[in-house]
C-alpha cells in the first residue's frame, strides 16, 4: 500500500485486461481493474482509496435506496497515436458534479479528491485506454447517500466513487425520435439541470413506449406547455434551420452539457451561426414543411453527436434529408480531432495524464 497526496493505492495482483475483447464491447458492461472510493462522514471527507474494482457492501436501509440521493457524471479519456492519454475538460465535470451535489443536499467533493483521484486512477489503468477511432475510456464518477436509516432527511454519510469502462459506440444504427406531448423530463424549480439518477429513471417508461412504436428516443419538451424543444433523450438537442444552428438555452430543466458547450464553440470556430433560444415544435414543423429544416442531432459525452434521421409529433412524421456535408459530421470530426490530440487545442480542453 502506498499513500500519495491523501490517496491510498492498492493495486490488483493480476490485471484482467488480457481477457477482454476490445473489438466487441457493449457500452457500460466491462470495467477496468481499479476504482476509487472516498467516504464523507462526521462532516468531512476521509482518505480516498484506489483499490481493485469489486462489489461494495451496504445495508437494505441505505438511504440511497429509499430517497434517491444519487448523482453522477460522464467523462472520457482518449489515447493518441503516440500512446499519450488525455482527459477532456475534466474540471467542467467537477464543477457540474458539485452543482448537482448542492441541489440534492449532498456534500461537495473537494477538487483534490475529484481531480487528483481521477488522474491517478486513469494513470493506473491507462492500458485500458485503447487507441483508435471511436475508442475511449468512459469515466463514471458518482456519489450516493450511504447512511443506514429510513428517516426522510438528507444522509449524514456519503460515498464518492469513480469506476471506468472501455467504450466504443453508444448508439448503433439510425435514430428516430418522438417529440413529447404528454410526458415530461423535468419541471421548473426541479432537478433537471442536475445529473441526478432519478432524472434518468423517470425517463425509462416513456422511452419504452417510444420503442414500442419503433422510435429510439424522445425529444423532451417543456413541462408547462409541451411547445418548446428541450433535450433529446439523455442528450442536449441541436436543430439546423437553413444555415443556423439552434439549441435550447440553459435553465433549471436542462443539463448544462459539456459536449454541448464544446460543440457550440466548434461551430463558432467554423463560422457557423449559433443561436441559444427557445425552438418551438411549431417552428420545427414549419421548417420541415418549407424545406429549411436540414438537421437535428443530440450531443453528449457517451454518444458525442447522434444525428436524428426522423421524428414524429402527434400525427406528423418527417424524415430528415441526407446531406453530403452536414454540420453533425463536421463538428464531430473537429471535436474528435481535439480529443484524440490530432489538432491544436486552442481552448485548453485537453488534460494530459
Through-space distance between the first and last CA atoms of the chain, rounded to whole angstroms: 22
Q: What is the mean pLDDT of residues 270-286?
A: 97
Gap between the Cα atoms of 94 and 139, Å rounded:
12
Q: With a cut of 60, say whether residue 4 has pLDDT above it.
A: no
Is residue 254 within 8 Å of residue 231, measured between CB atoms?
yes
Domains and CATH numbers, the chain: 2-169 (3.30.470.10), 176-339 (3.20.10.10)
The 8-class DSSP code of residue 128 comes to G
Is residue 109 within 8 Å of residue 121, measured between CB atoms?
no
pLDDT in tens, 286-341: 999 999 999 999 999 988 899 999 999 999 999 999 998 999 999 999 999 999 99
Is residue 122 within 8 Å of residue 36, measured between CB atoms?
no
Percent of the chain with pLDDT over 90: 89
pLDDT confidence tier of residue 234, bands split at 50, 70 and 90: confident
Q: What is the mean pLDDT of residues 240-265?
A: 95
pTM listed for this prediction: 0.94
* Per-residue pLDDT, 15: 96
Gap between the Cα atoms of 239 and 249, Å rounded:
13
How far does CA 58 lie from the centroid of its chain? 26
Gap between the Cα atoms of 6 and 11, Å rounded:
16
Kind plus residue range of the DSSP H or E element containing 230: strand 229-232
Q: With a cut of 50, say whether residue 1 has pLDDT above it.
A: no
* Per-residue pLDDT, 169: 67
Gap between the Cα atoms of 174 and 187, Å rounded:
29
Please tell me whether residue 269 adopts helix, strand or coil conformation.
helix
Average pLDDT, the chain: 94
Higher pLDDT, 119 or 169: 119
* Per-residue pLDDT, 303: 81
pLDDT in tens, 146-191: 999 999 999 999 999 999 999 986 666 789 999 999 999 999 999 9
Q: C-alpha grid cell for residue 35?
A: 476504482
Is residue 301 within 8 Å of residue 92, measured between CB atoms?
no
Amino acid at each position: 500500500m502506498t499513500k500519495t497526496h491523501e490517496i491510498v493505492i492498492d493495486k490488483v495482483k493480476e490485471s484482467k485486461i488480457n481477457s477482454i475483447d476490445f473489438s466487441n464491447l457493449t457500452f457500460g458492461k466491462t470495467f477496468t481493474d481499479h476504482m476509487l472510493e472516498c467516504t464523507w462522514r462526521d462532516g468531512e471527507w476521509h482518505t480516498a482509496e484506489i483499490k481493485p474494482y469489486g462489489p461494495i457492501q451496504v445495508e437494505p436501509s441505505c438511504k440511497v435506496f429509499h430517497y434517491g440521493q444519487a448523482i453522477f457524471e460522464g467523462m472520457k479519456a482518449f489515447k493518441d497515436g503516440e500512446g499519450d492519454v488525455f482527459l477532456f475538460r475534466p474540471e467542467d465535470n467537477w464543477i457540474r458534479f458539485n452543482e448537482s451535489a448542492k441541489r440534492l443536499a449532498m456534500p461537495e467533493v473537494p477538487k483534490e479528491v475529484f481531480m487528483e483521484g481521477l488522474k491517478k486512477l486513469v494513470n493506473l489503468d491507462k492500458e485500458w485506454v485503447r487507441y483508435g477511432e471511436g475508442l475511449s475510456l468512459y469515466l463514471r464518477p458518482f456519489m450516493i447517500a450511504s447512511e443506514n436509516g429510513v428517516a426522510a432527511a438528507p444522509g449524514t454519510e456519503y460515498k464518492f466513487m469513480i469506476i471506468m469502462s472501455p467504450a466504443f459506440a453508444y448508439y448503433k444504427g439510425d435514430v428516430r425520435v418522438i417529440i413529447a406531448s404528454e410526458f415530461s423530463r423535468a419541471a421548473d424549480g426541479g432537478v433537471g439541470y442536475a445529473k441526478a439518477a432519478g432524472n434518468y429513471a423517470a425517463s425509462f417508461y416513456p422511452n419504452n413506449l417510444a420503442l414500442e412504436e419503433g422510435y429510439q428516443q424522445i425529444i423532451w419538451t417543456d413541462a408547462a406547455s409541451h411547445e418548446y424543444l428541450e433535450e433529446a433523450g439523455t442528450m442536449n438537442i441541436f436543430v439546423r434551420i437553413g444555415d443556423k444552428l439552434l439549441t435550447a438555452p440553459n435553465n433549471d430543466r436542462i443539463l448544462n452539457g459539456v459536449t454541448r458547450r464544446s460543440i457550440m464553440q466548434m461551430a463558432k470556430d467554423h463560422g457557423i451561426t449559433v443561436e441559444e433560444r427557445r425552438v418551438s415544435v411549431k417552428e420545427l414543423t414549419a421548417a420541415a414543411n418549407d424545406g429549411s429544416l436540414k438537421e437535428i442531432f443530440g450531443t453528449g459525452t457517451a454518444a458525442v453527436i447522434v444525428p436524428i434521421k426522423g421524428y414524429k409529433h402527434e400525427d406528423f412524421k418527417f424524415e430528415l434529408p441526407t446531406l453530403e456535408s452536414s454540420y453533425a459530421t463536421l463538428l464531430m470530426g473537429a471535436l474528435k480531432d481535439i480529443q484524440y490530440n490530432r489538432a491544436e487545442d486552442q481552448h485548453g480542453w485537453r488534460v494530459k495524464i
